[in-house]
């Protein structure tokens, strides 16, 4: 199961905040940034490992009410539930990895690596306003020099 980045990166963030190495008010912005980043990575497709991993995390946190999908089709982070939801996801992934539980991994991926209705709505909104999936930088000076 290739979702190793989530548990350890979040554990490091928890440690950093607990040790007061960064101001606690950054914790909320970290979760908001993570939510926005989910949409970016899933846009690459659920066939890609990054897309699958982000869909798994997004859908788990949505199911645990750490992410909230509102009737006006916007999202927010429920800061009262997000720490516990992240911890439960980390525990689930690490337990599957520690046991080498292929069946458990398959079931987890099958359940959470899907295009759920809230995720689909968010991605459609990004498409409708023509937000590019990725950037394609151009370098006019370099182009001119190569001509």
Can you give the pLDDT of all 147 residues of the chain as single tens digits? Answer: 444 455 567 667 778 888 889 888 888 998 898 899 889 889 888 888 888 999 999 999 999 999 999 999 999 999 999 989 988 998 999 899 999 999 999 999 999 999 999 999 999 998 888 777 777 777 888 777 887
Residue 5: what pLDDT? 52
How many structural domains are present in the chain?
A: 1
CB of 104 within 8 A of CB of 96? yes
Residue 70: what pLDDT? 98
Residue 8: what pLDDT? 61
DSSP class per residue in 79-91: TTTHHHHHHHHHH
For 41, other C-beta atoms within 10 Å of its C-beta total: 18
Residue 61: what pLDDT? 96
**Helix ranges, 19-101 (H):** 25-42, 49-63, 82-99
The residue whose two tokens read 């554990």 is: 11
CA distance 20 to 12: 12
Instruction: Quote the domain boundaries for residue 92.
Output: 5-146
For 77, other C-beta atoms within 10 Å of its C-beta total: 19
Nearest to 82 by CA among 29, 124, 120: 29
């Amino acid at each position: 199961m290739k979702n190793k980045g989530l548990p350890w990166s979040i554990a490091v963030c928890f440690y950093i905040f607990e040790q007061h190495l960064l101001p606690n008010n950054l914790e909320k912005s970290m979760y908001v940034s993570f939510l926005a980043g989910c949409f970016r990575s899933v846009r690459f497709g659920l066939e890609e490992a990054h897309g699958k991993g982000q869909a798994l995390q997004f859908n788990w946190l949505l199911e645990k009410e750490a992410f909230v999908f509102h009737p006006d089709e916007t999202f927010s982070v429920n800061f009262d539930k997000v720490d516990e939801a992240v911890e439960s996801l980390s525990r689930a992934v690490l337990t599957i990895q520690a046991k080498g539980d292929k069946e458990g991994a398959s079931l987890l991926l099958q359940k959470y690596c899907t295009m759920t209705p809230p995720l689909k709505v968010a991605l459609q909104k990004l498409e409708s306003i023509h937000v590019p999936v990725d950037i394609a930088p151009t370098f006019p000076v370099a182009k001119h020099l190569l001509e």
